[in-house]
Structure 1
């Protein structure tokens, strides 16, 4: 190759437009209780709803705005932090009849796949509760993202799923209306 051709090739490459490659952004979940929550509700005898939450959890996620399939999340929940605003009921929920917190002090979710768009995200993953791991699907959407007043950058998501108690070896019979627990996840993360 002549020097002129090499010079022409080098010049054309320098002037060629660059293609931006997206990369997931890392976030730590804000677990101070102010901006994130893991809530649940279950029917009581088919007449009303009992609502509760887990007060202590941790986790992080990566989110790729350009290619959602590159995203992932992992969350760990301290099961003894269950709170339904009723001390006796919470004590029972911590027992071997339900969460069995002495034997299984932690529950977790680890994603295996993201798909969809900001408005309709489907998150597949493995949920572990009471020593049992099962695949679940969370239907989610991005609430928003941007700079915060303290110089950080945040994003937030809402998601919902449901689980059957029997799938996680929780055999306490609460009646057919109470066989399923609805979970609501409000996740806000701070960019690392």
Structure 2
């Protein structure tokens, strides 16, 4: 009888976790970026192909998490030659490093919303970052500034491209049910 109760409790817990799981709506999620070019111009672009899982409960942040990746080969600046160059070994090296991923280690409430702390892995380098974000109607929106030198993207010799990259993240999730 006791074993049956334990098994029942386990099944209920697994079911509750599955109900709370949210997958990313790839078609409606995007990461946009801005970077200075030649110190007087700004290049804008985007990445698509976002996938992963989000578990977010504003009443239980300690059990909330993000596991999100984007497809590095989707880089798009609306300039075919530049995009091809960004995909090669001078920058993202998408054949070797096909994804850029973020895995949260904690999520905390902030004065303007929330902050996800975790590890960003890009171009074979993993660094701790903090992403301030807000959430409304199954849409998470956040911002992040990264130093491309930290991730060895473009190398320090690429003076034409700015060092800091401003990112805007929009992740739309859909709830899954059993």
- Give the shorter-chain TM-score range: 0.7 to 0.9
Cα distance in 1, alignment partners of residues 148 and 112 from structure 2: 29
The aligned residue for residue 22 of structure 2 is 27
TM-score, normalised relative to structure 1: 0.76
Cα distance in 1, alignment partners of residues 102 and 126 from structure 2: 9
The aligned residue for residue 52 of structure 1 is 45
Q: Which runs of 5+ in 1 are unaligned?
A: 1-21, 146-154
Whether 1:98 and 2:95 are equivalent positions in the alignment is no
RMSD: 2.1
Whether 1:185 and 2:169 are equivalent positions in the alignment is yes
Residue deviations 1:125-158 (CA, integer Å, cap 9, x gap): 111111111111101111x22xxxxxxxxx1110
Q: Determine which structure has more spread, i.e. the larger CA radius of gyration.
A: 1
Whether 1:169 and 2:152 are equivalent positions in the alignment is yes
Contact 2:107 2:115 in 1 (8 A): yes
Cα distance in 1, alignment partners of residues 50 and 58 from structure 2: 25
Higher helix share: 2
Contact 1:60 1:75 in 2 (8 A): yes
TM-score, normalised relative to structure 2: 0.82
Q: Size of the alignment, in residue pairs?
A: 159
